[in-house]
Amino acid sequence: MTEQTETAQRPVLVVDFGAQYAQLIARRVREAGVYSEIVPHTATAAEIAAKNPVGLILSGGPSSVYEPGAPALDTGVFDLGVPTLGICYGFQVMAQALGGEVANTGLREYGATDAAVEGDGGVLLAGQPLEQNVWMSHGDQVSRAPEGFEVLASTRATPVAAFGSDSRRMYGVQWHPEVKHTDFGQKVIENFLHRAAGLPADWNSGNVIAEQIERIRAQVGSGRVISALSGGVDSAVSTALVHEAVGDQLTAVFVDHGLLRKGEREQVEQDYVASTGVRLITVDAREQFLSALAGVSDPEQKRKIIGREFIRSFEQVQRALVDEAKAEGEPIRFLVQGTLYPDVVESGGGSGTANIKSHHNVGGLPEDLQFELVEPLRTLFKDEVRAIGRELGLPEAIVARQPFPGPGLGIRIVGEVTADRLEVLRDADAIAREELTAAGLDGEIWQCPVVLLADVRSVGVQGDGRTYGHPIVLRPVSSEDAMTADWTRLPYDVLSRISNRITNEVREVNRVVLDVTSKPPGTIEWE
């Protein structure tokens, strides 16, 4: 298998010092219309230069620059002549390397902090209020700016909260401009990119589509391609993009394992096919999966069974398609995979041989499938993938779809998975989604798992009698990347409508409860 090359566009490199927000910085750069990639702080100056960057942003990090073993940077990076912005720890690394001083004065700043812009703020802080609220998270601080650098901002505890040198095109801020708690954070990033570095805002979904179509055609040629289509955003957009490039050379395979939400098979077979024209083969494996899951309650065992049965279903179709392709003289050599940029970063940057990823979505495709991967989304974040899906004309119901695990409702039933329990959960989930959409809350919620506690019953009163029904759990969460999440504060009237409808309309449910746990300590899914 070979790894698809990254975009030809010259990047702004985000140098990661172990910050929890490195990916967020990269996203903010993209939002400003400039392509970005993440590299580790261990990259040498030569390795960074080889990527031909148009800008560098040094991220924050949890360490102190003067402690033994603290993350360091090859100081040759500062001799490359590349416009550079340091953030928090990266700001301190820059100050120390260029001859300034960093000290622990005993004055710490965490959270919302008032900052005062000095003078006109220079290029970096131009067009911003002289007094503004920023988000700090530091115990050390720059006590003296490097020679030739102008102090651009200060706070009560930090006299050098920002500095800059227009002649060297190097700048830094002690606060975190990438987080939304900083009032003018995006303006800081945009000023660095567009004013200091002189970069145009030319990274957009239209350019990405045109570039990827060209790459896909060059990679695939006249070869045949197969795609495992789940109906989720990533597989839907990657399949549509490849189809846009090679047309009927692509065949999409959709496995209906019976663990889907209400209307999802029809959504794929009708709406998706109508909007893309892709050739689709549906495998009806509902009985196969239910039989395999019979009597199983352990969540990890359920995941393994679902993953195993998915592989068997996919392999069966794959063999038939390979035989068909051989008969026609053009073997299937390519497999579409919806790998996103966070997958690449979290797996070590995507270096080396590309492997078919194995994770919670489907339990992994077979490792011995001898296909070359086509990964048109591997440079993109989820919000960019949605934008491309809209540009390609995919149905909004698919493009805006919340993340949904490959094992589907099988891991949203706490207990054994049965046909009856699936119908109960499907109905409750549909009601919750309908009401959240009607209330206009889809944009505020990252995901809202609806969970059936199948092995739990509670006493209730419905009509003139007592009931002994199951509880349904609502788990609305807000997140940027699913690595961390907080429960979404839904309006009480929306919660009331959802609860009333579920207990009135869904048999065997007499109680609806709300999960108000953040991640960590909880996970988004229950199993």
Active site residues: 88, 176, 178
Q: Is 182 exposed, middle or buried (0-12, 13-18, 19+ CB in 10 A)?
A: buried
Which residue, among 253, 380, 266, has the nearest Cα to 319 in the 3D structure? 253
Q: What is the bridge-based pairing of β-strands 12-16 and 36-40?
A: parallel
Phi, psi (rounded to 5 degrees) for 59:
-75, 175
**Cis status of the peptide bond prior to 520, with omega within 30 of 0:** yes
Distances (CA, A) of 156 to 101, 130, 134, 168: 18, 14, 12, 28
Alpha-helix runs per DSSP H in 198-298: 205-220, 233-246, 264-266, 273-276, 286-293
Q: Record the tokens describing residue 270, joined without a space.
A: 């009708």
The answer to whether the CB of 12 falls within 8 A of the CB of 192 is no
d(CA 310, CA 308): 5
Amino acid residing at 244: E
Q: Give 503-509's long-range contacts (Cβ < 8 A, gap of 24+).
A: 503/460, 503/462, 505/427, 505/431, 506/424, 506/427, 506/428, 506/431, 506/472, 507/424, 508/424, 508/469, 508/470, 509/424, 509/428, 509/469, 509/470, 509/471, 509/472
For 371-436, the three-class secondary structure string (H helix, E strand, C coil) is CEEECCCCCCCHHHHHHHHHHCCCCHHHHCCCCCCCCHHHHCECCCCCHHHHHHHHHHHHHHHHHH
d(CA 450, CA 445): 13
SS3 31: helix
Q: Record the tokens describing residue 367, joined without a space.
A: 């490792």
The answer to whether the CB of 136 falls within 8 A of the CB of 175 is yes
The answer to whether the CB of 478 falls within 8 A of the CB of 444 is yes
The answer to whether the CB of 1 falls within 8 A of the CB of 355 is yes
The answer to whether the CB of 491 falls within 8 A of the CB of 377 is no
**Cis status of the peptide bond prior to 407, with omega within 30 of 0:** no
- Alpha-carbon torsion 121, 143, 13, 392, what sign? negative
DSSP character for 173? E
List, in sequence order, every residue forming a beta bridge with 14; answer none if it has no partner: 38, 57
Q: Record the tokens describing residue 472, joined without a space.
A: 């349904």
Q: How many angstroms from the chain centroid is the CA of residue 96?
A: 34
